[in-house]
Amino acid sequence: MTIDTRTPVSLSVRDVHLSFGANRVLRGVDLDVARGATACVIGPSGSGKSTLLRTINRLIEPDRGDVLLDGRSVLRDDPDALRQRVGMVFQQFNLFPHMSVLRNITLALRRLRKLGEDEAVAVARTHLELVGLSAKADARPAHLSGGQQQRVAIARALALQPQVMLFDEATSALDPELVKGVLKLMAELSAGGMTMVVVTHEMGFAREVADTVAFMDHGVVIEVGAPGAIFEQARHPRLRRFLSQVL
Amino acid sequence: MDPLSTLWETFFDWDSMRAALPEMLTVGLPNTLILAVSAALLGSVLGMLLAIAGISRTRWLRWPARVYTDVFRGLPAAATILLIGVGLAPLGMQVWGPNPYPLGILALSLIAAAYIGEIFRSGIQSVEAAQLEGARALGFSWGEAMRLVIIPQGIRRVLPAWVNQLIALIKDSSLVYFLGLVASQRELFRIGQDYAATTGNESALLLAGLFYLTLTVPLTHVVNWIDRRLRHGRPATAPVGDSDDLDPVLPDPRGGTPR
pLDDT in tens, A182-230: 999 999 999 999 999 999 999 999 999 999 999 999 999 999 999 999 9
pLDDT score of B240:
39
Give the Cα separation of B247 and A126 in Å (integer): 21
For A50-70, how does the pLDDT look when each residue is reduced to its tens digit (9 = 90+)?
Answer: 999 999 999 999 999 999 999
Residues 42-81 of B with CB under 8 A from A: none
Cβ proximity of B201 and B148 under 8 Å: no
B230 vs A contacts (CB less than 8 Å): 98
pLDDT at residue B238 is higher than 50: no
pLDDT score of B107:
94
Nearest C-alpha of chain A: how many angstroms from B43? 25
DSSP structural state of residue A233? S
Given strand A195-199, what is the order of strands in its sheet? A86-89, A164-168, A195-199, A38-42, A212-217, A220-225
Question: Nearest-CA residue of chain A relative to B132?
Answer: A94
pLDDT at residue B258 is higher than 80: no
Cβ proximity of A186 and A202 under 8 Å: no
Confidence tier at B251 by pLDDT (50, 70, 90): very low
Amino acid at B108: L
For A124-178, how does the pLDDT look when each residue is reduced to its tens digit (9 = 90+)?
Answer: 999 999 999 999 999 999 999 999 999 999 999 999 999 999 999 999 988 888 8
pLDDT at residue B242 is higher than 50: no
Confidence tier at B99 by pLDDT (50, 70, 90): confident
Confidence tier at B226 by pLDDT (50, 70, 90): confident
Given strand A23-33, what is the order of strands in its sheet? A23-33, A11-20, A64-69, A72-73
More confident residue, A32 or B227: A32
- Asked if the Cβ–Cβ distance from B249 to A147 is below 8 Å, we say no
pLDDT score of B243:
43
Neighbours of B123 (CB within 10 A): 22
Question: Nearest-CA residue of chain B relative to A98?
Answer: B153
Give the Cα separation of B131 and B150 in Å (integer): 7
Cβ proximity of B176 and B187 under 8 Å: yes
Nearest C-alpha of chain A: how many angstroms from B253? 7
Confidence tier at A3 by pLDDT (50, 70, 90): very low
A108 vs B contacts (CB less than 8 Å): 138-140
Question: Nearest-CA residue of chain B relative to A140?
Answer: B233
pLDDT score of A228:
95
Cβ proximity of B187 and B174 under 8 Å: yes
> What is the mean predicted confidence (pLDDT) over B10-21?
90
Confidence tier at B236 by pLDDT (50, 70, 90): very low
Give the Cα separation of B9 and B6 in Å (integer): 5
Give the Cα separation of B26 and B211 in Å (integer): 12
CA nearest B232: which of A198, A100, A213?
A: A100
pLDDT at residue B217 is higher than 60: yes
More confident residue, A173 or A104: A104
Q: Picking from A111-125, B56-70, B90-104, which range would have the lowest pLDDT averaged per residue?
A: B90-104
Q: How far is CA A51 from CA A12, A27, A59, A199, in A?
A: 16, 11, 9, 10
pLDDT score of B1:
64
Amino acid at B166: L
Give the Cα separation of A214 and A26 in Å (integer): 14
> What is the mean predicted confidence (pLDDT) over B15-33?
93
Predicted-assembly ipTM surpassing the 0.95 threshold = no
The alpha carbon of B214 is separated from its chain's Cα centroid by a whole number of angstroms, namely: 15
Give the Cα separation of B55 and A134 in Å (integer): 39
For B148-182, how does the pLDDT look when each residue is reduced to its tens digit (9 = 90+)?
Answer: 999 999 999 999 999 999 999 999 999 988 888 77
pLDDT at residue B248 is higher than 60: no
- Asked if the Cβ–Cβ distance from B258 to A140 is below 8 Å, we say no
CB pairs under 8 A between A and B: 124
Question: Nearest-CA residue of chain A relative to B229?
Answer: A98
More confident residue, B114 or B13: B114
DSSP three-state, residue B210: helix
CA nearest A30: which of A66, A62, A58?
A: A66
B259 vs A contacts (CB less than 8 Å): 97
Least CB-CB distance to B241: which of A90, A132, A139?
A132
In whole numbers, what is the pLDDT of chain B averaged over residues? 86
Neighbours of B194 (CB within 10 A): 18
For B110-151, how does the pLDDT look when each residue is reduced to its tens digit (9 = 90+)?
Answer: 999 999 999 999 999 999 999 999 999 999 999 999 999 999
Nearest C-alpha of chain B: how many angstroms from A236? 34
Confidence tier at A6 by pLDDT (50, 70, 90): low
Cβ proximity of A123 and A161 under 8 Å: no
pTM: 0.83
Amino acid at B245: D
> What is the mean predicted confidence (pLDDT) over B22-27?
94
CA dihedral A25, A18, A170, B233 (to 10 degrees): 110
Burial B219-235 (b: 16+ CB within 10 A, else e): eeeebeeebeeebbbee
